[in-house]
């Protein structure tokens, strides 16, 4: 059964994840699907519809979409405010923070497509591979219909090194997988500032669960060329600064490499396509390249990780 949904514009409170319809006529952000490995492929044409699978049907008056519902949408109660960085910290983007209608605060980044797609796709691939990340969503800026990436705020933004020292057996598996995921995505930006601790209740006790954030620097997901990415060996994606020094004693992550190596091109395509569909944007020029690069890097993840651990 194919789910059908009208395209943007959206109004505050609407959510594709909950099946809410957009308010107003379809925009010119139209696409048509063709099949590749069982998944749809996008191309521009405002008179067509796309679906997650065949058959593909032409509509003459309005555009109908079948979103994947892989990434939900949130509505902010008020416009987000710029985040003031801590002393000595420089943000590569200009993150903002705002309160959503679910009662949670979210950090939002965008609206440049490489940033939004890299963050959302990075979160998606990381979670699918077993790496803990915060809840995330898209947010539509009502002022200009620009799409932003939104990540739920986690209160504790430091202390992972102390936690590693206090509970190395508990935290080491998270860090090992985090490093392998960064190598796979060609993400050179892992440091103390983008691992956060989420306090959760476990059998009556409060446990600090580490979560990974910030995948916007993923060279593959941002659309960097294969040539440029391949110039960087695995060591280029080792954690930086104090976190990198602390991770030096970690055992080689054989199991984590096995997890990533199981991702073939069709599986990666399906996940990235889900993110792309939910963003409701025209085709990405680097989409096929990103899928191919990730499949190649998954195939040789053991070799790349050995370079990082050397």
pLDDT digits (tens, 9 = 90+) for 19-47: 333 332 222 223 223 333 343 443 333 33
Lowest mean pLDDT among 115-124, 163-172, 191-200, 278-287: 163-172
Higher pLDDT, 191 or 4: 191
- 117: closest CA among 102, 136, 91, 99? 136
pLDDT of residue 200: 81
pLDDT reading at 92 higher than 60: yes
Pair of tokens at residue 264:
């073939």
| Cα separation, 237 vs 105, whole angstroms | 30
pLDDT of residue 37: 39
> What's the CA angle centered on 120, arms 236 and 251, to 5 degrees?
40
Q: For 166, what's the count of Cα atoms within 13 Å in the CB-facing half-sphere?
A: 7
pLDDT reading at 306 higher than 80: yes
CB 121 within 8 A of CB 167: no
**Percent share of the chain, pLDDT over 70:** 74
pLDDT reading at 177 higher than 50: yes
pTM tops 0.95, yes or no: no
**Percent share of the chain, pLDDT over 90:** 58
Over range 202-213, report the average pLDDT: 85
| Cα separation, 223 vs 245, whole angstroms | 30
List 81's β-bridge partners, or say none.
Answer: 97
Banded model confidence at residue 66, pLDDT cuts 50, 70, 90: very low
């Amino acid at each position: 059964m194919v789910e059908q949904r009208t395209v943007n514009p959206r109004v505050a409170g609407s959510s594709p994840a909950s099946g809410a319809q957009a308010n107003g006529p379809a925009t010119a952000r139209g696409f048509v699907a063709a099949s590749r490995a069982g998944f749809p492929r996008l191309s521009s044409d405002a008179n067509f519809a796309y679906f997650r699978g065949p058959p593909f049907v032409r509509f003459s008056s309005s555009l109908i979409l079948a979103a994947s519902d892989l990434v939900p949408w949130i509505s902010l109660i008020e416009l987000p405010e710029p985040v003031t960085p801590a002393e000595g910290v420089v943000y590569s983007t200009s993150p903002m923070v705002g309160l959503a209608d679910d009662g949670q605060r979210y950090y939002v980044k965008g609206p440049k497509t490489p940033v939004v797609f890299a963050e959302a796709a990075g979160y998606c691939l990381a979670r699918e591979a077993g790496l803990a990340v915060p809840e995330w969503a898209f947010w539509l800026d009502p002022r200009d219909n620009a799409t932003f990436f939104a990540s739920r705020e986690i209160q504790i933004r430091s202390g992972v090194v102390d936690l590693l020292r206090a509970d190395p057996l508990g935290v080491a598996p998270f860090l090992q997988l985090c490093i392998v995921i960064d190598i796979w995505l060609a993400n050179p930006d892992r440091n103390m500032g983008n691992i956060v601790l989420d306090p959760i209740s476990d059998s009556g006790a409060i446990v600090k669960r580490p979560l990974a954030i910030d995948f916007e620097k993923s060279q593959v997901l941002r659309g960097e060329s294969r040539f440029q990415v391949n110039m960087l060996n695995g060591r280029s994606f080792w954690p930086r600064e104090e976190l990198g020094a602390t991770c030096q004693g970690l055992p080689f992550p054989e199991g984590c490499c096995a997890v990533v190596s199981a991702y073939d091109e069709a599986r990666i395509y399906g996940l990235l396509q889900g993110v792309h569909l939910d963003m409701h944007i025209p085709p990405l020029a680097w989409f096929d390249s990103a899928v191919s690069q990730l499949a190649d890097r998954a195939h040789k993840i053991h070799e790349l990780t050995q370079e990082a651990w050397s």
